[in-house]
Structure 1
Amino acid sequence: MPAAPSPATPLCDALRDAGEWNPAWDPFYELDPAWTEKFMDMGLAPLRRGVLDAKTVEFIAIAVDASCTHLYAPGVRRHIRKALALGASPQEIAAVLQCVSVLGIHSMSLGAPILLEEIAAARAGAASTRP
């Protein structure tokens, strides 16, 4: 049976040509280029429609890539470079990083009370009764 022709992926191709392609996207592109193209279209829609200005889009991309749930240093670097090229100040970028840093507060919100409970239990000489 002959292989099906590859679908057109102009957005994915443009991202590659512009040096904006993340190699981590290669596996899902290889599995389903049409889905990947639709995914990229969805992600780029605010910028392409002009709903958000390019600098704001870069700020959001910095926040996403620097977030504790993502931690993608190459993307942070790429988007900081682009934001600076678009006229962002170092103070604006620092503010974005400061805003996104609060995502990690959930680790403290969960862990600190447990730590206090375990310290109290250890001082009382008893094992914690909590799982």
Structure 2
Amino acid sequence: MSFTPEQQKLKDRFDAELGAAAFDDAWSRLLTHSPEMFAASLRLTAVPKKTGHLTPKIQALVSLAVSAASTHLHVPNIHRHTRAALAAGASKAEIVETLCLTSTLGIHASTTGVPLLCEVLEERGESFPKGMQGMSAQQVALKQDFEAKRGYWNSLWEEMLRLAPDFFDAYTEFSSVPWTTSGEGGEKGVLEPKVKELIYCAFDTAATHMYQPGLKLHMRNVLNYGGTAGEIMEVLELATLLSISTLDVGLLVLDQELSKG
């Protein structure tokens, strides 16, 4: 595709800041339809690349988590960020583990709904014990199993454990795969714990989800694993780039509709 001299300057700037390999059809459409928005989007995208608290590989995996989350499932960006992760040296196992971590988002149907169910029961005069009070030996064992596999405990799990221990047990197994599967060196999983927690932060903070209880919990876990505020901030910046998906999809539809005329 040929560009005007001004558009070509912006394309050259893109190549210098993000790399020529990152320029695809979506960026080309944006440059053609709105050079001004292209320039602004390029600047926004380049900021985390320049600060570089996270490696290019981890940045790509974080961006993949945002795109592949069940609340977004933006297939063009899943391709884009998978390609970028592979180019940055990510292994197949690291990409699969990122997707496994991201697939846990659905549990928030329960972590949001269970507290509300308990409130409704209490409003109806049905008493509901707090904490681990009165839990069975089996339920206490399930709590200990979760702590051993996931490395933390939070009181938000207690009501679910009380109401649906079998479901809680099944979810522990589901969510623990990236934490318990042995890697080549005998470590649990292929991504370090801090990176796993950053991936949770990515899809919790994304505008398609914005699950504050989980975001705060996983931010705390990142710091407990030796992460930094700068690394967390970079995840928030990368998740903000979800906004550009509007242009990726909308301008493609615009071109398709214009071609019908």
Q: Same fold (TM over 0.5)?
A: yes
Of 39, 54, 63 in structure 1, the residue corresponding to residue 171 of structure 2 is 39
| Matching residue of 1:71 | 210
C-alpha distance in 2, partners of 1:89/1:64? 18
Gap runs ≥5 in structure 1? 1-5, 115-131
Task: Mark the CA change 1:73 to 1:108 in structure 2 (over 3 Å): closer, same or farther.
Answer: farther
Q: Give the stretch that moved more between structures: 75-84 or 34-43.
A: 34-43
Distance 1:20 1:96 in 2: 25
| More displaced 10-residue stretch of structure 1: 99-108 or 38-47 | 99-108
1:45 and 1:29, CA in 2 relative to 1: closer, same or farther beyond 3 A? farther
Residue 154 (structure 2) aligned to one of 6, 19, 23: 19
Q: CA RMSD in A?
A: 3.7
Equivalence for 2:4: none
Q: Percent same amino acid among aligned pairs? A: 25
Distance 1:113 1:53, change over 3 A: closer
**Larger RCO: Structure 1 or Structure 2 (Cα < 8 Å, ≥ 6 residues apart)?**
2
Change (3 A) 1:104 1:20: farther
1:69 Cα deviation (Å)? 2.3
CA deviation map 1:18-62 (0-9, x unaligned): 226457x83x983x5323322221112112331122111111111
Aligned pairs for 1:1-131 within 5 A:
8=138, 10-11=141-142, 13-14=143-144, 15=146, 18-19=153-154, 21-22=156-157, 26=160, 30=163, 32-49=164-181, 50-51=188-189, 52-109=191-248
Task: Give the Cα–Cα distance (whole angstroms) in 2 for the partners of residues 20 and 101 of structure 1.
Answer: 29
* TM-score of the aligned structures, taking structure 2 as reference length: 0.33
Counterpart-to-counterpart distance in 2, 1:67 and 1:44: 22
TM-score normalised according to structure 1 size: 0.60
8 Å contact from structure 1 (residues 47, 53) kept in 2 = no
Unaligned residue ranges in structure 2 (runs of 5+): 1-135, 182-187, 254-261
In 2, distance between residues paired with 1:33 and 1:85? 28
In structure 1, give the amino acid aligned to 2:239.
V
More helix by share: 2
* 1:57/1:20 CA distance change after superposition, 3 Å: farther
Map Cα deviations across residues 92-125 of structure 1 (whole Å, 9 max, x no partner).
Answer: 11121122222233345456799xxxxxxxxxxx
Cα–Cα, structure 1 residues 101 and 20, in superposed 2: closer, same or farther, change >3 Å?
farther
